[in-house]
């Protein structure tokens, strides 16, 4: 590994004279590389197809497929709707009957919006409900988490469950505060959050943590119960934490009860699951941001929850309850019909790329990028991050400095063992290229020199394309 790193450092200043094949030979030991470089004009000289038929984990580059399919089928003006419905009649301040909240997986639904819906009861002077309040989550079916999501990441917010009842991103902010070496850390979560957390985390000097292989661990219990154990760095005063809601329905039910109490409304029945039928009367609704804005955020920030909720909504287009499996089938159908790309053998277990079971060819990503280049009005094209300027490429070490800064517009993707980049490059000659770089099978030491061998490899290869394209 060290020898490869030294070779790359020597080659980096001479990248313009290097051959791309020699550079690929310097990829991290044991890894697999797939590379596509295609010009968007007939006059450009460079074209590379290196092992582009191999199926590799796409990670978040999969969001290119999700965004394109959603934009083509739902349209950029589509909005997710959350509705309030009633069934019964009012006598004075009493409501004899039931109320229902209908959820459709709005990624940006806030507690404030939910409170605004329930405030319609107060405006009608309803003070007591002699019935139930039903939560309709039937817009989705199946699991809230996709096949292939690693169990040890389920407690963190980038793995938040993609549920019809999604509230505040299904994420809870908390913190651990060090009180000195080898002392218990103090845990804090806001009192209004309906979660239960216990902690026996100890603050330790970093050297002791490394020696004892001690790290922070979170165990998920039933409902929204969590237990924290292990260690945190005692030199860091406050460690922010973000918990993924484990049970979205239980979380939503607790928040609804809190809001009813705040409004002074007494519920005599239960808050439970229910499904709307034609007997229900519409009362009010709130809407998400337009899909175009959500997709732009998804591509810029690589937002997994937006991607997975959008993916499952694709599965609901034919009138069925949306699911990950139906989302995959519908996405493939849409893109095959609209773009001509054959995705038959691709595996897309989710819309975010988080699943370790996802498999895509570099040539399939390149085909989609070429199609998007022919349709530049698509948000899926225009919203891609720009190297050194915004989104996930603003601080990417391999591309944030000249000559690559500002020359690349692309979607990145990283999961354990894989690192990918797919998009467009404006080369030194003024030509614009589609490029896809997929690196898989990575096994790197925890402590490495900076810049890392992977960063040097990626930068060297991309600089060669920039200089020779």
What's the distance, CA 15 to chain centroid? 34
Angle between helices 291-301 and 63-73 (to 10 degrees): 170
Q: Of these residues, 159, 178, 288, 302, which one is catalytic?
A: 302
From residue 49, how far is each of 117, 419, 437, 438 by CA, in Å?
Answer: 54, 18, 11, 12
* Rg for the chain, CA atoms, rounded: 25
Is 411 a catalytic site residue? no
Is 330 a catalytic site residue? no
Is 394 a catalytic site residue? no
Q: Of these residues, 18, 63, 411, 412, which one is catalytic?
A: 63
Q: Which residues are catalytic?
A: 60, 63, 302
């Amino acid at each position: 590994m060290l020898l490869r790193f030294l070779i790359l450092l020597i080659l980096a200043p001479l990248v313009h004279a290097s051959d791309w094949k020699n550079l690929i030979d310097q990829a991290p030991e044991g890894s697999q590389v797939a590379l596509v470089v295609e010009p968007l004009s007939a006059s450009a000289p460079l074209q590379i197809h290196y092992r582009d038929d191999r199926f590799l984990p796409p990670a978040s580059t999969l969001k290119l497929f999700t965004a394109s399919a959603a934009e083509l089928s739902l349209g950029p003006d589509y909005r997710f709707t959350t509705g309030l419905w009633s069934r019964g009649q009012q006598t004075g301040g009493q409501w004899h009957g039931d109320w229902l909240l209908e959820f459709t997986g709005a990624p940006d639904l806030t507690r404030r919006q939910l409170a605004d819906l329930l405030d319609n009861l107060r405006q009608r002077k309803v003070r007591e409900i002699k019935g139930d309040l039903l939560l309709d989550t039937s817009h989705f079916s199946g699991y809230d988490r996709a096949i292939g999501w690693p169990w040890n990441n389920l407690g963190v917010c980038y793995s938040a469950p993609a549920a019809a009842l999604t509230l505040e991103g299904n994420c809870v902010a908390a913190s651990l505060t060090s009180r000195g070496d080898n002392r218990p850390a103090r845990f804090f979560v806001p009192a209004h959050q309906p979660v239960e957390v216990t902690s026996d985390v100890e603050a330790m000097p970093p050297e002791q943590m490394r020696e004892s292989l001690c790290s922070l661990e979170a165990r998920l219990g039933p409902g929204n119960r969590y237990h924290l154990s292990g260690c945190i760095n005692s030199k860091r005063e406050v460690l922010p934490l973000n918990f993924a809601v484990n049970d979205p329905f239980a979380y939503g039910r607790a928040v609804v009860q809190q809001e009813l109490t705040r409004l002074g409304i007494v519920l005599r029945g239960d808050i439970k699951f229910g499904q709307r039928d034609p007997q229900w009367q519409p009362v009010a609704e709130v809407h998400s941001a337009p899909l175009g804005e959500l997709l732009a955020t998804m591509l810029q920030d690589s937002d997994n929850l937006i991607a997975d909720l959008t993916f499952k909504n694709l599965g609901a287009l034919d009138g069925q309850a949306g699911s990950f499996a139906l989302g995959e089938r519908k996405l493939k159908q849409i893109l095959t019909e609209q773009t001509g790309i054959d995705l038959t053998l691709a595996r897309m277990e989710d819309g975010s790329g988080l699943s370790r079971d996802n498999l895509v060819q570099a040539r399939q990503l390149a085909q989609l990028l070429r199609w998007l280049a022919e349709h530049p009005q698509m948000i899926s094209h225009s919203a891609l991050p720009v190297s050194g300027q915004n989104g996930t490429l603003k601080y990417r070490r391999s591309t944030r400095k000249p000559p690559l800064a500002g020359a690349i517009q692309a979607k990145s993707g990283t999961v354990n063992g894989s690192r990918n980049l797919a998009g467009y490059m404006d080369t030194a000659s003024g030509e614009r290229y589609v490029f896809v770089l997929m690196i898989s099978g990575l096994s790197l030491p925890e402590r490495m020199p900076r810049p890392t061998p992977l960063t040097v490899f990626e930068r060297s290869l991309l600089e060669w394309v920039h200089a020779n394209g």
